[in-house]
Amino acid sequence: MGRLDITQLTKTFDEGENVIVAVDELDIAVEDGEFLVLVGPSGCGKSTTLRCIAGLERVTSGQIRLDGRDITDAKPKNRDMAMVFQNYALYPHMTVRRNIGYGLKITTDLAKSEINDRVEDTAELLEIPDLLDKKPKELSGGQQQRVALGRAIIREPEVFLMDEPLSNLDAKLRTTMRTEIQQLQREMGVTTIYVTHDQTEAMTMGDKIAVLDGGELQQLGTPLECYHEPANQFVAGFIGSPSMNFIDVRRNGDVLEADAFSYQISSETRTAVDTASNRLTMGIRPEHIELGTGEEPNAVATEIEVVEPMGEMTYAYFTVGGTTHTASIDGERRIAAGEQVDVVFPEDKIHLFDQADGAAIKNSKVEELGEPTNHPEP
């Protein structure tokens, strides 16, 4: 079993006369066998949270429980967890065989022969048996990453903790290792908490993602919930690539008024925003923007400023109200910089947020779909 309950977790650091709140009253429950990704910008508290869970940072207040057992103040070696670090943390003077088996050697009474058998089984699982007698300096980045994973796997922990383990790899290798980590986690069924600043990793790897900012939990949900139903403007802007477009508007009855256009809303949308402030922010994802013919309601005339062909998609940049926005257009659609176009923001795809606190008031409509086994990239 590996259910982890984090309750009101707070971690502060004293910086002279100032107190820095790195993690602020965090509440998260991670089910046994679940893959949870902590994601957010640099400095949001995700790595500090992971270090608190591992016992590498003393918790200021709050509680951490593993299968009902309070481990808040337990030593790292008594938590039944294994951690994979960003820099791999391999011993340079040891062979791969000794690196993988070292944790068992110092924490168990297993015979040398049994440790060696488990090392070889782990190496087979990771497809690195031919590397066992090499030293880290002889390995590529991907091979070192597999050794670091092996050192965690061999301990058969209740929980895997991974702190940006792919950040030092090139883009192609990151994609390969991302898939391998997911496959290993599913085969072993081990509860995993994975830290990253890369929202693509979060979207494609996690059963659930916890979006953090300023040490606070912004949203906890499945990748598609956070993508289609963001709890606030921060989550909406952080999850998704290219990022969501935002336009400040004022509500005047059935009309949303911006500096450059007016947008007629339906009675359904008006009902959704009736109790909200009149000062809102409209959000729409680049892939939901359409190029119209000029006859559509709420079409906005503008000029394409920059075009970036990406193959399947083309990114088109245009200005509305003095702010540059992005549209993702089908790659087969021919479009050029300087072209005059009408852009359309379909009402069923717009999001509306309160300007005062960023809270979501209306999200885009999506079809009721089951959560896929493999999450699509945003």
Among 187, 186, 165, 160, which residue's Cα sits nearest to residue 66?
160
Q: List the Cα angle 224/34/115 in 5-degree steps.
A: 140
The answer to whether residue 326 scores a pLDDT higher than 60 is yes
CB-side neighbour CA atoms (13 Å) of 369: 12
CATH of 243-362, one of 2.40.50.140, 2.40.340.10, 3.30.70.1230, 3.40.50.300: 2.40.50.140
Q: What is the pTM of this model?
A: 0.89
Average pLDDT, rounded, for the chain? 92
The answer to whether residue 25 scores a pLDDT higher than 60 is yes
336 Rama sector, left if φ>0, alpha if ψ -120 to 50, beta otherwise: beta
Name beta bridge partners: 82. 160
Among 243, 213, 208, which residue's Cα sits nearest to residue 226?
208
pLDDT computed for residue 367 by the predictor:
62
The C-alpha atoms of residue 224 and residue 232 are separated, in whole angstroms, by 15
Owner of token pair 């100032």: 18
pLDDT computed for residue 368 by the predictor:
55
Share of the chain above pLDDT 70, in %: 96
Q: What is the DSSP string of 283-309?
A: EE-GGG-EE--S-STT-EEEEEEEEEE
Residue range 305-310: mean pLDDT, rounded: 96
State pLDDT tens for residues 154-198. 988 999 999 998 888 888 888 888 998 999 899 899 999 999 998
Name beta bridge partners: 330. 313
CATH of 4-228, one of 3.40.50.720, 3.40.50.300, 3.40.50.2300, 3.30.70.580: 3.40.50.300
Owner of token pair 């947008």: 263
Domain boundaries, the chain: 4-228, 243-362
State pLDDT tens for residues 69-94. 999 999 998 999 999 888 888 999 99
Residues in the chain: 378
The answer to whether residue 294 scores a pLDDT higher than 80 is no
State pLDDT tens for residues 185-244. 998 999 999 999 988 899 999 999 999 999 999 999 999 999 999 999 999 999 999 999
Secondary structure (3-state) at 273: helix
Name beta bridge partners: 103. none
**Main-chain phi, psi angles of 97, to 5 degrees:** -55, -45
> Quick check: 88 and 147 in contact, CB under 8 A?
yes
